[in-house]
């Protein structure tokens, strides 16, 4: 009697559970979609409000002659874009941005790679070495630039150190070539630590077995790096390249504090030229057209890198 009662109860329970109505597959799929949309909604709303909407507004402003001080807002159509074609100041700004981007990308990426490789060797004082190069990343950009403005003066710290070895340093911020080189170097040392950490994380993911097998086959350090390490960390190289190129086109504080765009227009990059048109000459319509041009340049460069990734990014092959 006791055994029968205990075995009958679970059977009855299972039978009742079997009659419980379960949600259909379509209902479960719909619920998953709703949860997914709810999770993605904040990012989508933020992108629409702070990226897409401002782009549309700026594109609309670029079709107008808008002077805040004069209180004029007149529709001019493509006149601002036609003006860009004939503006020598804009041409100089594009050329300065090109030189700045080339110098920054080459120096920043290559130096970050070298530093990451050294850190990956686990040499003595690695923690101190890593802290020394990463600390500028968290330092205020304006404070960092002001310190360098004193170091780069004619009688500043850099020339003072050069004089100890009998070298007469130039007036770094007042020569057309040296001013651009100075701005590039300041920006390199400001952000190289971030790229160094990204490369270091990628290097630590390279399987040691592959390195050991290549070493046993007689491959030297450079051959192992070129044929094994570099292909395996190529996704990180792509990420760092995109971030550095986009960052090179957005430099402003360094130019404003160090050189003010001079001497002449030698360091007047595109963002600083945009700032001059908008807030110095109060020509917001033309500045908006320059903003659209800058957006298109960044978009084209990013798409170009993304489309060509299959030719050199290992995991995309």
Dihedral sign of CA atoms 204, 210, 213, 217 in order: negative
pLDDT in tens, 149-186: 988 888 878 888 888 888 888 888 888 889 999 999 99
Q: Are residues 54 and 93 in the same domain?
A: no
Q: Are residues 123 and 245 in the same domain?
A: yes
Q: b/e string for 128-143 if b means 16 or more Cβ within 10 A?
A: eebeebeebeeeebee
Note whether residue 189 is domain-resident. yes
pLDDT in tens, 246-292: 888 888 988 999 999 988 889 999 999 999 999 999 899 999 999 99
Q: b/e string for 203-241 if b means 16 or more Cβ within 10 A?
A: beebeeeebeebeeeebeeeebbeebbebbbbebbbbbb
Note whether residue 293 is domain-resident. yes
pTM of the model: 0.83
Number of domains in the chain: 2
Q: Are residues 122 and 197 in the same domain?
A: yes
Note whether residue 8 is domain-resident. no
Beta-bridge mates of residue 66: 73
Residue 183's closest CA among 149, 141, 142?
149
Note whether residue 1 is domain-resident. no
d(CA 278, CA 204): 46
pLDDT in tens, 101-116: 999 999 999 999 999 9
SS3 67: strand
Which residue range(s) make up the domain with 29?
A: 25-58
Q: Report the percent of the chain where pLDDT is more than 70.
A: 91
């Amino acid at each position: 009697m006791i055994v029968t009662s205990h075995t009958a109860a679970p059977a009855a329970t299972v039978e009742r559970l079997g009659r419980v109505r379960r949600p259909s597959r379509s209902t479960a799929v719909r619920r998953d979609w709703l949860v997914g949309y709810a999770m993605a909604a904040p990012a989508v709303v933020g992108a629409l409000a702070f990226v897409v909407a401002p782009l549309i507004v700026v594109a609309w402003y670029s079709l107008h002659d808008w002077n805040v001080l004069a209180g004029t807002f007149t529709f001019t159509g493509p006149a601002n874009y036609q003006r860009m074609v004939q503006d020598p100041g804009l041409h100089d700004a594009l050329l300065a941005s090109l030189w700045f981007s080339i110098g920054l990308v080459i120096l920043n990426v290559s130096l970050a790679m070298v530093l990451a490789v050294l850190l990956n060797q686990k040499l003595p004082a690695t923690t101190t070495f890593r802290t020394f190069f990463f600390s500028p990343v968290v330092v205020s950009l304006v404070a960092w630039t002001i310190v360098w403005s004193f170091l780069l003066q004619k009688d500043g710290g850099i020339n003072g150190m050069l004089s100890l070895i009998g070298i007469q340093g130039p007036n770094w911020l007042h020569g057309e070539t040296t001013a651009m080189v100075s701005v590039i170097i300041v920006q390199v040392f400001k952000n190289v630590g971030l790229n160094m950490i990204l490369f270091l994380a990628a290097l630590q993911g390279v399987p040691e077995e592959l390195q050991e097998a290549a070493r046993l086959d007689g491959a030297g350090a450079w051959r192992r790096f070129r044929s094994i390490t570099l292909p395996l960390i190529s996704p990180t190289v792509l990420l760092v390249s995109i971030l550095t190129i986009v960052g090179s086109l957005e430099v402003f504080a360094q130019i404003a504090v160090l050189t003010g765009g001079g001497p002449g227009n030698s360091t007047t990059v595109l963002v600083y030229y945009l700032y001059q048109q908008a807030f110095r000459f109060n020509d917001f319509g033309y500045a908006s057209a320059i903003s659209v041009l800058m957006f298109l340049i960044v978009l084209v460069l990013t798409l170009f890198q993304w489309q060509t990734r299959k030719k050199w990014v290992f995991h995309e092959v």
